[in-house]
Structure 1
Amino acid sequence: MDLSFISQALGEIISPTTAAYALAALGLSIHFGYTGLLNFGQAGFMAVGGYFFAITSNTFGVPFFVGLLFSILGAVLFGLLLGIPTLRLRADYLSIVTIAAAEIIRLVAKTPELSWLTGGSAGMPSGSDSFQELNPIPVGLYELGPLTYTEEDLWTIIFAWVVVVLAMLLVWRLVRSPWGRVVKAIREDEDAVRSLGKNVFAYKMQVLILGGVLGGLGGMIFVLPRSVQPDNFGTQTTFFLWTIMLLGGAATVFGPIVGSMIFWMVIVATDGIVSLLVSENLLPITGVQGGQIRFILVGVALMLLVIFRPQGLFGKKSEVYFNA
């Protein structure tokens, strides 16, 4: 009986993928939890961040921090292009536009006419060589409990979580500043904020760009240990992010990080348990069918969260936008 999935599930707690989704979910928390922007296109920001980094680092050979800067710049540009024509829309229309924009980004990256730049459907290398050149960790294998990491894996994990911690501190400081009080007021009643002379559109644009930059950084970190594939930034990514954010708490700083850890640990553990039951002939399904069970569980979990605990693990029910 193969129980290796247990150590794999534990490893997801600190994996770069978990850190990437934590960053993007934190950006989504700024959008929705603190400001009330119903953004269903956070996967688009992740795609922009990942592709801008990969194209500049891999294709043009720029140093890592220049690629990082381009990743941020790409997210800012996408935020401006998305926000200028849409931020005056009502919440439900905004959700439709944002999910469409994210799909446009994915399909543009996937189109064969741009394969010379983006790799098309086959994807492209992430360009992480420039990142690994900065690796200060000596070559070797490093054991952390039941887990073993190479120096490259360990360097990626350390960098990813340092970025997550810095992003947490930045958001924590911002939401407790006068700026943060204004965006919370926009969430509650933007007409009242407008009547006090505040430029609601400008604040929404700042929020969209800030949360988008965190999503872009999440996309960059996501592609560091793997190649860049357009289908990794589909609509399922956005709904994973929403589940993570709602699990931890929409209007919280620490919630999306813990939510990402729990989410990916449960996903990997569920896959392992289902595969084990299928291999032992305890479930009358095929391996392919078993792989879809995790999506069923994500959907059920999301419904139960919204119904029974909309504030998440760390949130306050009084601050849940869709429960007001």
Structure 2
Amino acid sequence: MSLKLKTPLMRNSLMVILLVLFSLVSIFTGVQEVSFMNLFQLSEVQRLVLISTRIPRTISLILSGSTLAICGLLMQQLTQNKFVSPTTAGTMASARLGIVVSMIYFSQSSLAQKTGLAFAFSLTGTFIFILFIRTIKNKKAVMIPLVGLMFGNIINSLSSYLAIQFEVVQNTSSWLQGNFALISSSNYQLLFLSFPLFGVIYLLAHYFTVMGLGKDVSTELGIPYATLEIIGIALVALATSAIILTVGSIPFVGIVIPNLVSLKQGDHFGKILMPTAFFGALFLLFSDVLSRTLIYPYEIPISVIIGVIGSVLFLYLLLRGESK
């Protein structure tokens, strides 16, 4: 009995320790040498680098990784498909289209207005995807994300056409690849939207868990399925828009992390919510450290690193799913 009580505690403690260790590695990795041993003897330049870039970057990595992983988990729960995420549901692509439209037609708009427009497009695109997959007869696990990828590519093509047509390609290129290199103390605050969004998801975790049983069962148990589905999609769309506006498009996190966590800890949404957030943050921290050290002192966009690692893990999950 005591062993069962200790095991989750030990697991959670290990996750916290790993998160702290990777956060420290992230903070003290970079071109400008900032040593942990000399933390209280830093020069003015080192102190400025630490406060204005390193710490905001690490916080951004933690918030983005955990949020993307949770969004993927929530979308998989709502669609009852393990390979659906903001990447494979057209959510990210729709948010990018909203940003392009805002830059073309509302170039003087504020960050809040751009966020609102990106959210509106992201929400609309995700709902179109959800409605579309309900008409598909072949609902094999692999078919749904493939349809989502094609849908996303169509939207991306429209975004590229508009960007070229109105000569804003250079201004929109930063949203094509995720990159934390430009994060500073003045431009990452939008990511703090993750806290209230995660709070809402945590409070509704029980209902989202029941929704995994299907619409008919959930309705019989008194769950307002349609309302919660709208709330869940809206939360994902808003979180995705905030991340894209801040750091750009980050692929695969919402697919591979929830799946890898569920392989070890089961499919109960409420129970794997926190581990998914932790491992999403760890995955992004690890990938970012790699992006800064592989060709040091130069830096590879983190989306390239995650694209390589994520595609391998995604292929593994696909093959594993097909073999069952």
**Per the shorter chain, which TM-score range?**
0.5 to 0.7
Matched residue, 2:172:
124
How many pairs were matched up? 257
**Deviation at residue 109 of structure 1 after TM alignment:** 1.0
Cα offset for 1:262? 1.0
Equivalent-residue separation in structure 1 for 2:122 and 2:273 (angstroms):
21
Q: Alpha carbons of 1:30 and 1:322: their partners in 2 closer, same or farther (altered >3 Å)?
A: farther
SS of 2:187's equivalent in the other structure is helix
Deviation sequence 1:54-92 (CA, Å, 0-9, x none): 643674123433333222221221122222221253143
Match for residue 206 of structure 2 among 161, 176, 186:
176
Answering whether residue 188 of structure 2 is matched by residue 157 of structure 1, we say: yes
- How many angstroms apart in 2 are the aligned matches of 1:256 and 1:88? 30
Counterpart of 1:167? Answer: 197
How far 1:248 moved relative to its partner? 5.1
For 1:240-266, what per-residue CA distance to the aligned partner results, in whole angstroms no more than 9, with x for missing partners? 432233355573332343223211221
Distance 1:46 1:268 in 2: 20
Partner of 1:176, secondary structure, is: helix
Aligned mate of 2:86, from 2, 23, 42: 42
State whether structure 2 residue 106 is matched by structure 1 residue 106. no
Give the TM-score normalised by the residue count of structure 2. Answer: 0.60
Q: Give unpaired runs (5+ residues) of structure 1.
A: 128-148, 226-231, 280-286, 311-320
CA positional deviation for 1:323: 11
Report if aligned partners of 2:65, 2:281 keep a CA contact under 8 Å in 1.
no
Aligned counterpart, 2:71: 27
Structure 2 partner of 1:4: 30
| Aligned pairs (5 A) from 1:151-230 | 153-160=184-191, 162-177=192-207, 180-186=208-214, 193=217, 196=220, 203=225, 207=229, 210-211=232-233, 213-224=235-246
Q: What are the Cα deviations for residues 191-239 of structure 1, in whole angstroms up to 9, with x where unaligned? A: x62894989xx947963773465245323333336xxxxxx65xxx442
Q: Distance in 1 between matches of 2:188 and 2:92?
A: 18
Q: How does 1:297-316 map to 2 (within 5 A)?
A: 297-299=309-311
Contact 1:26 1:211 in 2 (8 A): no
Among 238, 249, 267, which residue is 2:287 paired with? 267
Partners of 1:198 and 1:101 in 2: CA distance: 34
Aligned partners of 1:24 and 1:215 also within 8 Å: no
How far off is 1:24 after superposition? 3.1
The equivalent of 2:257 in structure 1 is 244
**In the alignment, which residue of structure 1 is the partner of 2:131?**
84
What is the root-mean-square deviation of aligned Cα atoms in Å?
4.7
**Ranges in structure 2 where 5+ consecutive residues have no aligned partner:** 1-27, 35-52, 176-180
Cα distance change on mapping 1:87 and 1:10 into 2, 3 Å: farther
1:93: Cα distance to partner? 2.6
Task: Report deviation, 1:20.
Answer: 3.5
Q: Deviations over 1:81-128 (max 9, x none)?
A: 2222212531433222111111111121112x55345834x453889x
Structure-1 residue corresponding to 2:275: 255
Quick one: distance in 1 between partners of 2:133 and 2:236? 20
Greater Cα offset, 83-92 or 93-102: 83-92
Letter in 2 for 1:49: A
The answer (yes or no) to whether the contact 1:25–1:256 under 8 Å persists in 2 is yes
Aligned to 1:115: 164
User: Quick check: 1:248–1:257 contact (8 Å CA) kept in 2?
Assistant: no
SS at match of 1:153: coil
Q: Which letter does structure 1 place at the counterpart of 2:294?
A: V
- Could you tell me the TM-score, scaled by structure 1's length? 0.60
